[in-house]
Amino acid sequence: MQDRNEKPGTVKEDKLKIKIVSDSNPYLPADIRQKLLQPRRLTSYFLMLVDSGAVTYNVDLQDMTLTDGQLLFAMPNQVFVPPAKTADLKYFKVLFDESTLALLPQQFPFLVNPLNTQTIIFDNAARERVSKVFEILHQLLHAGEQPADTEIVLAYLNALLTELNSAYFQNTEPANMLNTNLSKFIAFKLMVETHLTEQPSVNAIAEKLALTTNSLYRIVKEYSGVSPKDFFTNRLMIEARRKLQYAPLSVKELAYELGFNDPDYFSRFFKKCTGQSISEFIKK
């Protein structure tokens, strides 16, 4: 996901790294295009706005189709497969890393994807604003030989993510802010991501979040539709399938990487959760 050569469209000063491309500069050599079509783990945040046309991406084994005015966002470590063809598609794509995100003056909860949807639909006014910010970022990062001003680029990236965060939570209550339960669910998701391979108990997670186990169950069920235990299990299986799709491992290697001490138990657990054995998944 990183350019080996610093080309127009990329800013890199200290910890800042951001790249933007559009349908106006889509050309890549055939060998690079072929390589990019292979499943790979994202190392950056990925945003794609479709101005017109339709396109389908595969993220963590799920097909996601975008049409006019819709946006897809994907996060680092997700397994990502782009479409083979993008003919007649008008779009903007932005990629930026964790260190760039850390330079912004606020956090953006939508990047944790608490509502379990990685596509955003805008109303007409928001779509116009978002398109304009993409255009300005593209202009800044493709301005010529002089590097873009870091502070200006960060200001527009901050404005873009603010728009996306607002649109993502547009239909939640209360409007324009996160309620207490949603904030707790976001904290729960972050804890799952941070301690995934440690496999902490639900009681331990609830204690760290200053919640009772019943309260945690109610909040997680409200936003995910499953219990905290099932949420954790589902996330483990997503990670297992990511690893198998990106770089197939032996059962033993995979079990140890995910925090299981017994590869045989893990193999049975994988089949129980996914409905197929590890070897069947790899073959498929």
Three-class SS of residue 110? helix
Kindly state whether residue 250 falls inside one of the protein's structural domains: yes
**C-alpha angle with apex 232: 226 to 237, nearest 5 degrees?**
105
CATH number of 41's domain: 2.60.120.280
Instruction: Give 41's contacts (C-beta < 8 A, 6+ positions apart).
Output: 76, 77, 78, 79, 80, 242, 246
Q: Which of 138, 168, 198 is the last residue of a domain?
A: 168
Residue 76 domain-assigned?
A: yes
Residue 80 lies in a domain: yes
Residues 102 and 191 grouped into a single domain: no
* Measured CA distances, 94 to 44, 149, 162, 266 (Å): 10, 17, 15, 38
**Residues 24 and 59 placed together within one structural domain of the fold:** yes
pTM score: 0.79
Q: Which residue has the tokens 């309260």?
A: 215
**How many Å apart are CA 223 and CA 181, to the nearest integer?**
9
- 257, 139: one domain: no
The residue segments making up the domain with residue 209 are: 180-283
Same-domain pairing of 157 and 219: no
In this structure, are 115 and 196 located in the same domain?
no
Residues 29 and 164 grouped into a single domain: yes
The structural domain count of the chain equals 2
CA distances from 196 to 189, 234, 256, 280, 283 (A): 10, 11, 12, 24, 26
One domain, residues 155 and 184: no
Per-residue pLDDT of the chain (284 residues; tens, 9 = 90+): 333 344 445 554 445 789 998 887 555 566 666 666 677 889 999 999 999 999 999 998 889 999 999 999 999 989 888 887 767 889 999 999 999 998 999 989 999 898 889 999 999 999 999 999 999 999 999 877 677 789 999 999 999 999 999 999 886 654 444 578 888 998 999 899 889 999 999 999 999 999 999 999 999 998 889 999 999 999 999 999 888 877 778 899 999 999 999 999 999 999 999 999 988 888 87
Same domain? For 163 and 251 the reply is no
Domain CATH code at residue 263: 1.10.10.60
